[in-house]
Chains A and B, each alone.
Chain A
Amino acid sequence: MSARALGPVVLSLRGVTRVHGSGPTAVRALAGVDLDVRLGELVAVMGSSGSGKSTLLNIAGGLDSPTDGTVTLAGDELHALDLKARARLRRRSVGYVFQDFNLIPALTAAENAALPRELDGISGRTARREARAALREVGVEALADRFPDEMSGGQQQRVAIARALVGPRRLVLADEPTGALDSATGEDIMRVLRARIDAGAAGLLVTHEPRFAAWADRTIFLRDGVVVDGTGTRGGPESLLAGTRR
């Protein structure tokens, strides 16, 4: 987790504004948000309820459209594409991790992780091989044949991370991924997510827990749809615990 060079921009938001409704009852969920997330980078988003965190995540993943501004995913501006192309780009570039894991109960861990690739239309055999590799990356290859109800919450979330980044996917959008886990398991999940991103992915993490946000490279704070502040590049840990061990 030491400082390292970041790769190209995977996700870029410019002047993103999202207004729900119109007239006097219009609610501005996001207002002029600029954000870049690079390969190898995890960015945390914090803010109180209604600050625009979920809207930001939905727009970043192409599930919602901005009223104004642009979203660029893997070099393509989302809303310059037709609906079909946009759906394909979204499906092939972005994976989601949710608070409650969202694995399909009737499928094994390996089948869950292979599913996005099967939807991509690749051969079942390649999909299974990639799913195994993705499970190995997050340390649960041994559980490949288990069903979700035969796994702990932490194990299910590892499978969800594997599924989100299976095959060529490089962007993971994580919505409170530690929300349903105890503190120590939540930390394990952050370690796994961090390691996957260090190994060649990018991530946007919505959380209300500062100690999990601290696993990100930087944190932005939203209030009323506006980025009010954020932690930028930092000095190393040496600046904090000067003279202590390590």
Chain B
Amino acid sequence: MSVRQGMLALLAEQPMHAYQLRQQFEHRTGGTWPLNMGQVSTTLDRLVRDGLVEPLAEHDDEPAAYRATTAGHDELARWWATPVERTSPARDELSIKLALAVTAPGVDVTALVQAQRTETMRALVDLTRLKADIPAAGPAPDDLAWSLVLDNLVFAAEAEVRWLDHVEARVARAVRTAGVAPAPSETRTEAHR
């Protein structure tokens, strides 16, 4: 959905052809979500079908350019004004893995958490290194956009590290309470307490 709205936002700024649109989308989001031309064409076709975008008259040798219609501008205004819905959580491999690990026999949850935390910290460090290359004072608008995209990834990674700390503490407490290694029933009792 965000690709569709993002492309509409770009076409509301100025007419563009498909290739320009792809370049602009990647440029403005720091290249974090690369698009392929097939995705761009399909999305453009749907935007045209829904009356939000229209092709401009073609010139010889020029690829077809598109612009947002009035309905497209209205749709975009609604998008800016509406918060992004936080619906059902995304299917996340780590939360599935940990949910299964705390109840699976023979899994060392503490070791799993430590290894994951180290890995997530590594990712956080790499993101921070990318941020460090951006001048802090008065970044260019493009740099600011890129920096904010990185911040989003930084905060997500930080949230994961904090959650892993929390998991570690909860599991340790469950072990202490039960006086034995975490087994399915004990861990579940703790989790539901």
Contacts and interface: CB of A to CB of B under 8 A. Distances in A.
Interface of A: 1-2, 48, 187-188, 191, 194, 209-211, 213-216, 219, 221, 223, 228-231, 234-237, 239-241, 243-246
Given A48-B165, A210-B158, A228-B114, A244 B132 contact: no
A133 B93 CA distance: 51
Contacts of B30: 244-245
Contacts of A244: 30-32, 34
Nearest to A2: B129
A209 B158 CA distance: 8
Interface string B20-34: 000000110011101
Contact of B162 (A210, A215, A241): A210
A228 B127 CA distance: 24
Nearest to B164: A210
Nearest to B27: A245
B118 interface: yes
Q: How large is the interface on B (under 10, 10 to 19, 20 to 34, 35 or more residues)?
A: 20 to 34
Given A214-B127, A239-B126, A240-B127, A219 B121 contact: yes
B157 interface: yes
Interface of B: 26-27, 30-32, 34, 114-115, 117-118, 121-133, 136, 146, 154-155, 157-158, 161-162, 165, 168-169
Contact of B126 (A215, A216, A236): A236
A213 B121 contact: yes
Nearest to B161: A210
A234 B114 contact: no
Given A241-B126, A244-B31, 11 more contacts: A48-B165, A191-B132, A209-B158, A211-B154, A214-B127, A214-B154, A219-B121, A231-B121, A237-B127, A240-B127, A241-B32
